[in-house]
Structure 1
Amino acid sequence: MILQRTLKKAISATGVGLHSGERVKLTLLPAPPDSGIVFRRTDLPGSPEVRAEPSLVNDTRLSSTLVTDTGVRIGTIEHLMSAFAGLGIDNLIVEVTAAEIPIMDGSSAPFIYLLESGGIVEQDAYKRFIRVKETVRVEEGDKWVVLEPHEGFKVKLAIEFNHPAFNRAPQTVEIDFASHSYIDEISRARTFGFMHEVEYMRNHGLGRGGNLNNAIVIDDEFVLNPEGLRFPDEFVRHKILDAIGDLYIIGHPLIAAFSGCKSGHALNNRLLRQLLATPSAWEYVSFKDPLDAPSSFHRLPEAA
């Protein structure tokens, strides 16, 4: 049977918020079956909790941010959520001492390391998947995203930047997780930004913690990071990392094919909301026999 997963023990790390520039302590704690991913703001009175769900993604300026009706915020959750998806984590409490998840190195690899250090354990409850039964599509001008029925999980994304640093490598990548590893192919891809955007971001209270240690920075022609890129097509691979994290805010692994062009956090969230608003387009499924599950989910790292 394919079971739900959590951590064996609590584990912590400290970093800086990409947009706030604030120092923040992140603590990941085990959680019971069927509790999902719950964020806890320990810096606020009463340590309010915010559950990861699409309806609470109410700020998508350069990241996915949960905002409750009482104004409690948890920002830049997509890289951490992407790591949860990559390792098949279903239930976890995420404690933070600020309004933003630390950016670490700009990828999800540090979160993968943190989770594996805490130990991943299976729980006495079936993992619940969401199987997409009908195509769901959202468009905005020349940008679009779509979920289609597929017996597995694969992602195809295209970006379009008329810029020398982007034109040196393909701007479209497709990853089928039946034959490729999230950890190897996606987790190390870092977030990126342009020098000319920095002043705008700072004026709007964004990007205050960004530097060459936690983002790829690009000028009018070149990548400024001394070490260069980790993949020739690292930019679009990071967009896939983001999309996987955004999609996992739905709370369950998707059995589907996701594709998009010039997509971002706002469009990804609209797609989830559209899916949930179309009851005929999806169903919950579990697998008592692991061999009945799509092969995409056979590649999850083994639990302890």
Structure 2
Amino acid sequence: MEMQNTIKSEAAISGIALHTGVRIHLRMKPAPENTGIVFRRTDMPGAPEVRAYAPNVIDVRRATTIAAPSKAYVVTVEHIMAAFHAAGVDNAYVEMDNAEPPVADGSAGPYFKMIKEAGIQEQNAPAQFWTTDVPLYVENGATSMVVLPSDTFKISCTVAFGETALDTQFYSLEVTPENFEKELGPCRTFVAYRDLAQLIAAGLAKGGSLDNAVILHDGAIISNDGLRFPNELVRHKIMDMVGDLYLTGKRVRAHVIAIKPGHSTNVQLAKLMLARETAQK
């Protein structure tokens, strides 16, 4: 029987937030069994908490935002959640002195590295897995997502953005700690230039740069050091799915097939997965 895990020791990172451009200090701490992943806003009176859980999602524009009645809210949880999910960490506290975590290099890689260096501590409660014996389906506009029964966590994904000849991409893999670290973790966030211009006009993306993002513009893919993989865009989308689907509060064991996924449909699917689980009880 697989058991729940937390991290062995604390781990910390500081850096610039993507949208506000302010410096953020983030610290991961071990948590008891059955805690889940809980964010703490140490900059707010009483350090209120919000659990990373699909019913707590309040916004999915550009990123996944969670909030609690305590008034605590956290923006862009998906990269941290992906790292925890892939590493098999069920329980942890994440303390932040602002609402948005450091963007780092625009990927989940630095967070996975933090967890790996902190170490994994097995706990005294059985791990909980989300599974299904029937297909589930979500469709929203051009986006389709199907969940099929599987003994492992696998994602197959197709994306197409119409910005360059290179942005129609497909990738499929089983999500394991080793595969995540090598194949998904390093993949950076990206944005179409026309959307970036809107973000800047709205006073956002103040911490964005070609060091932590890939830009699609006028038929070209632009970044300081080129693409890390020929299909880095679809790999990043898969990484986002690993994070968003961990909002079920359980490690996922299913095969997810997605066409043009985004945070909105990822969270919609996570909520459907929870509803299916409730109906089975």
Counting aligned pairs with the same residue, the percent is: 37
Of 240-249 and 64-73, more deviation after overlay is shown by: 64-73
CA distance in 2, matches of 1:14, 1:252: 28
Q: Contact 1:151 / 1:256 at 8 angstroms: preserved in 2?
A: yes
Residue segments in structure 2 that go unaligned for 5+ positions in a row: none
Q: 2:187 aligns with which of 181, 186, 189?
A: 189
Residue in structure 2 matched with residue 277 of structure 1 by the alignment: 275
Shift in alpha-carbon separation, 1:133–1:18, aligned structure 2, 3 A = same
1:295 — aligned with what? none
Aligned counterparts of 1:251 and 1:55: Cα–Cα separation in 2: 10
Of residues 67-76 and 1-10 in structure 1, the stretch that sits farther from structure 2 once superposed is 67-76
- Counterpart Cα distance in 2 of 1:147 and 1:132: 8
Structure 2 counterpart of 1:247, which letter? Answer: L
What residue number does 1:120 align with? Answer: 120
- In the other structure, the counterpart of 1:213 is 211
Aligned position for 1:35: 35
Alpha-carbon RMSD across the aligned residues, in angstroms, is: 1.8
User: Which residue does 1:136 correspond to in 2?
Assistant: 136
Indicate the residue corresponding to 2:221 in structure 1.
223
Look up the match of 1:146. Answer: 146
Q: What is the identity, as a one-letter code, of the residue corresponding to 1:144?
A: S
Aligned-residue offset at 1:235: 0.3
Shift of 1:189: 0.7
Deviation at 1:282, TM superposition (A): 6.0
Range 150-159 or range 44-53, more displaced: 150-159
Native 8 Å contact 2:8 2:121 kept in 1 = yes
Task: Report the AA paired with residue 14 of structure 2.
Answer: T
Tell me the distance in 2 between the aligned counterparts of 1:80 and 1:179.
14
Conservation of the 8 A alpha-carbon contact between 2:145 and 2:261: yes
Instruction: Quote the Cα distance in structure 1 between the aligned partners of 2:16 and 2:177.
Output: 35
| Cα 1:87–1:218 shift into 2, 3 Å | same
| Counterpart Cα distance in 2 of 1:180 and 1:35 | 25
Structure 1: segments with no counterpart, 5+ residues: 284-304
TM score, norm. by length of structure 1: 0.87
CA distance in 1, matches of 2:177, 2:89: 20
CA 1:97 to 1:135, structure 2 compared with 1: closer, same or farther past 3 Å? same
Between 1:110-119 and 1:215-224, the stretch displaced more is 215-224
C-alpha spacing 1:137/1:268, structure 2 compared with 1 (3 Å)? same
The whole-number CA distance in structure 2 between the counterparts of 1:116 and 1:280 is 33
Number of paired residues? 281
Distance apart, 1:204 and its partner CA: 3.2
Q: TM-score, normalised by structure 2?
A: 0.94
Matched ranges for 1:1-304 at <5 A: 1-164=1-164, 166-167=166-167, 171-177=169-175, 181-279=179-277
Shift of 1:191: 0.6
C-alpha distance after superposition, 1:36-75 (max 9, x if no partner): 1000000000100001100111111110010224542101
